[in-house]
Amino acid sequence: MARTHILGFPRIGARRELKFAQEAFWRGETSEAALREVAAGLRQRHWQLQAASGLDTVATGDFAWYDQMLSLTALLGVLPKRFGFDAAQLTLGQYFELARGNREQPAMEMTKWFDTNYHYLVPELDADSTFDGGPDWFFEEIEEALAQGLKARPVLIGPVTYLWLSKSHVSGFDRLTLLPKVTQAYRRILARLKARGIEWVQIDEPALCLDLGAAWLNAYDQAYAELAGVGPAILLATYFDTAADHAARAASLPVQGFHIDLVRAPQQLDAWRRVLPASAVLSAGVIDGRNIWRADLRRVLTTLSSLHAELGDRLWLAPSCSLLHVPVSLEHEVRLDAELKSWLAFATEKLGELSVLARALNHGEASVAAQLEASDAAQASRRNSGRVVNPRVQQRLAGVTAQMAERASPFTDRIERQREALQLPPLPTTTIGSFPQTSAIRQTRAAYKRGEIGALEYLQRIRGEIKLAVRKQEALGLDVLVHGEAERNDMVEYFGEQLCGYGFTENGWVQSYGSRCVKPPVIYGDVYRPEPMTVDTARYAQSLTDRPMKGMLTGPVTMLQWSFVRDDQPRATTARQLALAIRDEVCDLEHAGIRVIQIDEPALREGLPLRRADWNAYLDWAVNAFRLSAAGVADQTQIHTHMCYAEFNDILPAIAAMDADVITIETSRSAMELLEGFGDFDYPNEIGPGVYDIHSPRVPTVAAIERLLDRACEVIPPQRLWVNPDCGLKTRGWEETEAALANMVTAARALRSRLAGKGGLAWQRVERTEGVTAAPRHAAGCVDCATHAS
Ligand code: GLN
Ligand code: ZN
């Protein structure tokens, strides 16, 4: 009998109950008891769903008050010492302080969980870290499930992955020296599980899917040798990519089963089949835990039936990874059209799919004939729907030439024309796009959405905000202005709503970090742009000022990365469709007289595959998509891009290959490490390293900004340097924003005069006060864009 199980369920609740309970608790509006009650209710509901779907066990330990890594940090008792908390006595309030910071201490660092948009809190370790255990929450949740008559199958992130994801502030410290101490802590946890009669524990080791050196691979041998026999049977779970190259080693570990991701890496099955020990369980991750499409059950069964014949009881069926990365249930999607809805499966529906698969294997396909037919029908409807395939998009895609991704002239020529056209001072100042999203702005958008104000009233109010932002920027003396993005609540949703091929859910929330959730739009069909999206706004904003106004767009890779994407064509193809849609917008902005256009790509890095061997293929199509979106304009139109909050040093050649005229890039997080990278690599185009962190309301001093600029000048020729904050300012208030930008402008001016004194700026012009040249001619490269044929 094939068994079914899941690696984890989303914890936030179908209506984000956990979020609202957490936030009410943080605001001091509700008691801890009330928060605990909500959480217990959610756990119970989620376990009941699992049990009702015929899962043999329910996953416990997948709940976290804020984050699963932080919860493990608490369970191990290895809290950052700087907080001064006693791990054994850790309160829920203190746990949240670790996650969110307190008066004395900044929060623990947060970063992305592998290639997902989920963020975890990075453990802070050093040579004297101790792992003496913390609160008993993990065990209490198991008791809770047992008390409900359920069979609990706890989940733990494994010791090697835990260490791999942790950081030390002591440079050169080898985290692996802590392995013996960490495994001791796991031994104690496993022994307690065994004493409680738990039969299986799932230990997640997704790090096994990364490129690991010998030391880290050996750590697996060492750690699992220590864990052998002390606790329940161990299911070692890998996901997000293939672990085939380590299958033989993994198979020799003293564990009782393996979970592999057969959605992301179906090709690894053979390798595992060859090495699987005779008594070991293989958990086949066949339902997509990262995407929202209904599975093609018939197709999955073709893989599974031979596997089932071979393994019998030792075959388990599961989603590819934890369901944390998909929304909870389709049940609450009342407005989603029936056709699109029939193509989707969220976490709850995926439980149902697992149970159909198990019944088909265990009792024959006839026992689930109706369900399989429904699955076939959904597949056929998706394949044949006119909303999915659009011949015009296909045709245009087929006509894309390599030349369309090339600007007319090389950067060195373009920049001369841009300098001529834009008449900017050296070290031009600008911002990244958004200005404070005040409650007035949010209320305006909400009122419009609810139909309380009409389109005209909405337009007037938004224009009022744009005007305010422009006037403030002029008063501050910024050189290249932005309209402030008051009309956007989200940089992907705003464009997705105006593109064809995109769908939107009402409640398709996925946890991003802590109480923060995102609702990624769904790309279900060929993407195209039926009409201009930002041109009126940009034209209006430009009409208010004679300084260059940046057109502001989200790039194709970021649009892709922050959406649920089609699984019926390569991501590269979808990216290319998005690129063409954005290219049209770029061209239209140029025609409307916009001379600087920024195409944001903050998510370019996070799309990078986990294995280095796959990097180039990804970077090739991603960079090409960006270039295709940007290259339709004339030389004198300046293309900017923006990136933030990721490690960029290892992809600098790809960033350079994007060939944006200017990149504004966040640098505060990695201090100046990034700049050094740009210096060493000799980044060829213009660059604006962020000179202050927009996450803090603290106003940076002129001196601090000047220091950063001086350091930037050491690695980047000042002729190519821009001056800007790290990222958009939408989370800030106006008061601190104006103060910070005033200091930024002062610092830039001070440096300008110092450099001018040294004769350091060959093309230097006087501080500009007025006068712009006419809008540039349209580039010959923009051949595909019918609206521009003049
Ligand atoms: N233009 C966007 C803004 O300023 C960029 C946001 C981002 O980088 N995530 O808000
Ligand atoms: Zn940013």
Closest C-alpha residue for ligand 1 atom 1: 433
Closest ligand 1 atom to Cα of 488 = 10
Ligand showing the shortest atom-to-Cα distance for residue 728 = 1
Closest C-alpha residue for ligand 1 atom 10: 728
* CA 473 / ligand 1 centre spacing (Å): 17
* CA 430 / ligand 1 centre spacing (Å): 13
Span 728-737, pLDDT tens digits: 999 999 999 9
Task: For ligand 1, pick from 437, 487, 599, 642 the residue to mutate: most ligand atoms within 8 Å of CB.
Answer: 642
The torsion defined by the Cα of 372, 374, 375 and 376, in degrees rounded to 10, comes to 90
pLDDT tier for residue 646 given thresholds of 50, 70 and 90: confident
Closest C-alpha residue for ligand 1 atom 3: 728
Q: How far apart (Å, rounded) are the C-alpha atoms in residues 36 and 91?
A: 12
Closest ligand 1 atom to Cα of 554 = 1
Q: What's the whole-number mean pLDDT along residues 763-782?
A: 35
Q: What's the whole-number mean pLDDT along residues 707-732?
A: 94
Q: How far apart (Å, rounded) are the C-alpha atoms in residues 686 and 427?
A: 10
Span 443-455, pLDDT tens digits: 999 999 999 999 9
* CA 433 / ligand 1 centre spacing (Å): 6
Q: What's the whole-number mean pLDDT along residues 591-620?
A: 96
Q: How far apart (Å, rounded) are the C-alpha atoms in residues 76 and 74?
A: 5
Q: What's the whole-number mean pLDDT along residues 33-55?
A: 97
Ligand showing the shortest atom-to-Cα distance for residue 600 = 1
Q: Which amino acid is at 684?
A: P
* CA 432 / ligand 1 centre spacing (Å): 6
User: Whole-model pTM above 0.95?
Assistant: no
Q: What's the whole-number mean pLDDT along residues 408-434?
A: 98
Span 261-299, pLDDT tens digits: 999 999 999 999 999 999 999 999 999 999 999 999 999
Q: What's the whole-number mean pLDDT along residues 79-104?
A: 96
Q: How far apart (Å, rounded) are the C-alpha atoms in residues 41 and 47?
A: 10
Pairing of strands 152-157, 200-204: parallel
Task: For ligand 1, pick from 441, 478, 485 the residue to mutate: most ligand atoms within 8 Å of CB.
Answer: 485
State the DSSP code for 735.
H
Backbone phi, psi, residue 697, to 5°: -75, -5
Span 20-37, pLDDT tens digits: 999 999 999 999 999 999
Contact in structure between 771 and 420 (CB atoms under 8 Å) = no
Ligand showing the shortest atom-to-Cα distance for residue 645 = 2
User: What's the gap between Cα 701 and its chain centre?
Assistant: 32
Tell me which residues have their CB closer than 6 angstroms to ligand 1: 432-434, 485, 491, 552, 600, 602, 642, 644, 727-728, 730
Closest ligand 1 atom to Cα of 666 = 8
Q: What's the whole-number mean pLDDT along residues 31-56?
A: 97
Q: How far apart (Å, rounded) are the C-alpha atoms in residues 463 and 457?
A: 10
Closest ligand 1 atom to Cα of 728 = 4
**According to the model, what pLDDT value does residue 780 have?**
31
Active-site choice (246, 259, 325, 695): 695
Span 654-672, pLDDT tens digits: 999 999 999 999 987 655 6
* CA 599 / ligand 1 centre spacing (Å): 10
SS3 of 431-451: the string is CCCECCCCHHHHHHHHHHHCC
Residue for token digits 């066949």?
Answer: 286
> Which long-range contacts does 223-227 make (Cβ < 8 Å, 24+ apart)?
223/158, 223/159, 223/160, 223/179, 223/182, 223/183, 223/186, 224/253, 224/254, 224/255, 225/253, 225/254, 226/180, 226/183, 226/184, 226/186, 226/187, 227/159, 227/183, 227/186, 227/187, 227/190, 227/203, 227/254
Q: How far apart (Å, rounded) are the C-alpha atoms in residues 646 and 654?
A: 14
Q: Which amino acid is at 697?
A: P
How many H-runs (helices) and E-runs (strands) does the chain carry? 27, 19
Q: How far apart (Å, rounded) are the C-alpha atoms in residues 35 and 47?
A: 18
* CA 641 / ligand 2 centre spacing (Å): 10
C-alpha radius of gyration, the chain, whole number: 27
Q: What's the whole-number mean pLDDT along residues 634-639?
A: 98
Task: For ligand 1, pick from 432, 549, 562, 599 the residue to mutate: most ligand atoms within 8 Å of CB.
Answer: 432
Closest ligand 1 atom to Cα of 434 = 4
* CA 317 / ligand 2 centre spacing (Å): 40
Residue for token digits 């149902």?
Answer: 352
Closest ligand 1 atom to Cα of 433 = 4
- pLDDT above 70 for 310: yes
Contact in structure between 522 and 563 (CB atoms under 8 Å) = yes
Closest C-alpha residue for ligand 1 atom 4: 728
Catalytic, 5? Answer no
Mean pLDDT of the chain, nearest integer: 94
Ligand showing the shortest atom-to-Cα distance for residue 555 = 1
Span 543-559, pLDDT tens digits: 999 999 999 999 999 99
**According to the model, what pLDDT value does residue 16 have?**
97
Closest ligand 1 atom to Cα of 643 = 8
CA distances from 33 to 17, 29, 38, 226, 648 (A): 15, 12, 9, 39, 44
Closest C-alpha residue for ligand 1 atom 5: 728
Closest C-alpha residue for ligand 1 atom 6: 728
**According to the model, what pLDDT value does residue 442 have?**
96
Q: What's the whole-number mean pLDDT along residues 446-465?
A: 97
pLDDT tier for residue 759 given thresholds of 50, 70 and 90: low
* CA 433 / ligand 2 centre spacing (Å): 9
- pLDDT above 50 for 599: yes
- pLDDT above 60 for 681: yes
pLDDT tier for residue 776 given thresholds of 50, 70 and 90: very low
**According to the model, what pLDDT value does residue 647 have?**
81
**According to the model, what pLDDT value does residue 770 have?**
35
Structure-token pair, residue 776: 């540039």
- pLDDT above 60 for 124: yes
**According to the model, what pLDDT value does residue 760 have?**
55
Q: What's the whole-number mean pLDDT along residues 155-176?
A: 96
Span 232-254, pLDDT tens digits: 999 999 999 999 999 999 999 99
pLDDT-wise least confident of 518-527, 595-604, 750-759 = 750-759
Ligand showing the shortest atom-to-Cα distance for residue 598 = 1
**According to the model, what pLDDT value does residue 347 have?**
98
Closest C-alpha residue for ligand 1 atom 9: 602
CB atoms within 10 A of CB 63: 22
**According to the model, what pLDDT value does residue 615 have?**
97
Helices (H), 477-555: 493-496, 535-543
**According to the model, what pLDDT value does residue 781 have?**
29
**According to the model, what pLDDT value does residue 788 have?**
29
Nearest one of 212, 207, 185, 51 to 131, comparing CA atoms: 185
**According to the model, what pLDDT value does residue 670 have?**
59
**Percent of the chain whose pLDDT exceeds 70:** 95
* CA 604 / ligand 1 centre spacing (Å): 13
